Structure 1
């Protein structure tokens, strides 16, 4: 299990190619490129996300708040085996799917900063 303190800033309507060129010029390393499939579930005890990224499937519990337009989150995350089976288990446990997302992502690391560039 991984615990992550995340600060998230979203910037819309970027020039994707220019941003990628700049990241690579400064030595950023591409760590992922592919499609992401996410399902967000909720019940009376909170929300969780199941995400498939390439061959990896993981579950995340996020506790989030916004401060000065920056999203802060404590994430607890672990890898699971099968996306569809786990989603079915959540249905059986009384969780309700509240959101489903499909997007293409390119991810980079530069120093200690993780950059995700999404296309919907």
Structure 2
């Protein structure tokens, strides 16, 4: 199961961004945005973006049109990558993190990493 994770993946841990630093047979070492190093099980994290994410400075808010994408997709189900491509013309760690924050906010989007529900106006 830990085969799905690699060093420098951007993952979600307790609803926060984290970076994978090392993967062993049973545990995955991550570092959170506040610099805390944690050893976790694969089921404790979710892959947001394969990376590479060298540092959290790469997660600055990208230029794009997330609200325009919301208007275009209202009432539909989409994926993280599809929404990222539509709103930002690319799928990067920064766009994945920005979209996850919008999902967590719940105003325009809800759901999971795998399936995002786009709310109607």
TM-score (norm. length: structure 1)? 0.24
Higher strand share: 1
Query: Which structure has the higher relative contact order (CA within 8 Å, separation 6+)?
Result: 1
The structure with more helix, counted as a fraction of residues: 2
